[in-house]
Amino acid sequence: MAPGEGPLKVAVLAGGRSSEHDVSLSSGAAVREGLLAAGHEVVSVQIDRAGRWRHEGEGEPLSLTPGAGVLQADVVFPVLHGRFGEDGTVQGLLEMLGVAYVGSGVAASALCMDKVLFKELMAAAGSVPQVGYVDVQEQAFAGPARQELLERVMRLGLPVFVKPSHLGSSVGIVRVTTEDELAGALESAFAYDARVIVEAAASGIEVECGVLARLAGERADGNQAHAQASLPGEIVFDGDFYDFEAKYEPGGMELRVPARISDAAAAQVRDLALEAFARAGCDGLARVDFFVDGEDVLLNELNTMPGFTPTSVYAKLLEASGVGYPEVVDRLCRLALERFAEVSSRAF
């Protein structure tokens, strides 16, 4: 079915093998309701923690055949967070199945899931200010470079944040306030990932910005920008940093839109969000996170499939910017169909 031609049959993928399995199930349920409100037919596919695909929750196992799509759906909405879902793996599978799917493709998904590679790409641009960081790989840390790596990290100053490079939702993050804690924090992070990023603490407030791509028809109407950036939102929370509990526990955080920053800083946040989205080769949607201190804006990271739970930030940012939830999920499906049609028209 061509983009914009009536209701669609959408397969919503949720669950997955990552530590964000339960968050994904909540996101998938919300996306399902949004798609139904937009007038679409929805079929649900749940991926259990072992990676098995089942149609409609705990129903029959789902068999997949290359080139045969997924349950005759027009488009797949992979509401999957973290590894084996947001990192290019499922995107590659959907490419092999020959089906349109929501969100970024294989390369952008894999790149943005790796916090180190994403920061290196942004650094290469030369125009994107970022938080200071050190890349620490487990094999190097276990060898003669151990002391040199510890010294490089300490040059960032304390406190620092030790993060597994390929996880989201603040899973596995440790805030280090003394030199004695550093080696243990790194070893703890290696339990999740062989590559760890250590980031300097940034002053100011946490600000997030949603990016939503534009349909071809919108661009044809004279708006040449390929995506729109939401109003920036300010994350307000108790505690030392924006951890898993603050993100997902009721009352753990407050989102203030618009953020309490200057007009100039807000414009810079939106411009940098669009630049990061474009440079990383993203499609469909993203949430881009920043630290803002006065007029200083630092890019933190980009999430290619942000949470869609009732407490998640992305949908609230778009709603505050004039795009309601059903319209967001509808547009993402139409964008997926546009990209699939464009890619399919090219010679392989």
Alpha helices in 13-65 (DSSP H): 21-37
Q: Choose, from 88, 105, 233, 307, the residue flagged as catalytic.
A: 307
| Active site (annotated) includes residue 169 | yes
Residue 198: strand, helix, or coil: strand
| Active site (annotated) includes residue 179 | no
DSSP 103-116: S--HHHHHHHHSHH
233 with 255: CB under 8 angstroms? yes
E-strand ranges in the chain read 9-15, 41-47, 53-55, 75-78, 100-101, 133-137, 160-164, 174-176, 195-200, 205-213, 227-229, 233-237, 253-256, 285-293, 296-303
| Active site (annotated) includes residue 287 | yes
| Active site (annotated) includes residue 338 | no
Residue 133: strand, helix, or coil: strand
Q: Choose, from 193, 206, 243, 289, the residue flagged as catalytic.
A: 289
| Active site (annotated) includes residue 242 | no
Q: Choose, from 32, 270, 287, 331, the residue flagged as catalytic.
A: 287
State how far the Cα of 287 lies from the Cα of 301, in Å rounded to an integer: 9
Q: Choose, from 26, 104, 169, 300, the residue flagged as catalytic.
A: 169
State how far the Cα of 264 lies from the Cα of 285, in Å rounded to an integer: 24
Q: Choose, from 87, 199, 301, 338, the residue flagged as catalytic.
A: 301
User: What's 314's DSSP letter?
Assistant: H
Buried/exposed code over 260-296 (b: 16+ C-beta within 10 A; e: otherwise): ebeeebbebbbebbbbbbebbebbbbbbbbbbbeeee
Q: Choose, from 248, 314, 321, 334, the residue flagged as catalytic.
A: 248
- Choose among 119, 89, 91: nearest CA to 103: 91
Instruction: Kindly report the length of the chain.
Output: 348
85 with 92: CB under 8 angstroms? no
Q: Choose, from 18, 300, 303, 321, the residue flagged as catalytic.
A: 303
Q: Choose, from 20, 114, 199, 243, the residue flagged as catalytic.
A: 20
274 with 286: CB under 8 angstroms? no
| Active site (annotated) includes residue 303 | yes
Residue numbers annotated as active site: 20, 169, 248, 287, 289, 301, 303, 307
